[in-house]
Amino acid sequence: MANKILVAGYSGTGKTMSLRTLNPKETFIICPDEKNPPFQGWRKNYIMADPDTKQFSPKTCNFLKTTDWVKIQSCLKFVSTNRSEIKQIVVDTITYAMIGEFMDKAKMTGLD
């Protein structure tokens, strides 16, 4: 059973900064705006690339930067079923993923 929580607020009010209070060993962050977190020490606690392969792996990493909905969905599914140590999955600034999808479709042609 999962609890879904939405944190909404104006820009600059500390929504992303509050992530620093979460335990990084129990937290997985998906960041569609592709920015780094605004707090010190995030790099040593949040892993973006597997140390061996130098690429993102949902098995070993806990931080993903992407606006790709397929990657976001597959990562959510993998982490929720295979990473029992992860207690929180945070999708920070999800509007960027929604805007990215809209902008990609705006470039499509076909009924000219």
**pLDDT for residue 111 is more than 70:** no
69 pLDDT band, cuts 50/70/90, is: confident
At 76, list the tokens: 């959510």
Q: What's the CA dihedral at 24, 28, 33, 39 to 10 degrees? A: 0
Judge contact between 38 and 17, C-beta under 8 A.
yes
Does the reported pTM lie above 0.75?
A: yes
- Quickly tell me which residue has 């929580």 as its tokens: 5
Q: Which residue type occupies 109? A: T
Helix (H) and strand (E) counts for the chain?
3, 3
At 3, list the tokens: 């609890």
Report which of residues 105 and 40 the model is more confident about.
40
H/E stretch holding 77 reads: helix 69-82
Strands (E), the chain: 27-31, 63-65, 88-91
101 pLDDT band, cuts 50/70/90, is: low
Other CB atoms closer than 10 Å to residue 27's CB: what's the count?
A: 19
- pLDDT tens figures, 11-59: 889 888 888 999 999 999 999 887 888 889 899 999 999 889 999 999 9
Q: Give the highest mean pLDDT range of 23-27, 40-44, 63-67, 107-111.
A: 23-27
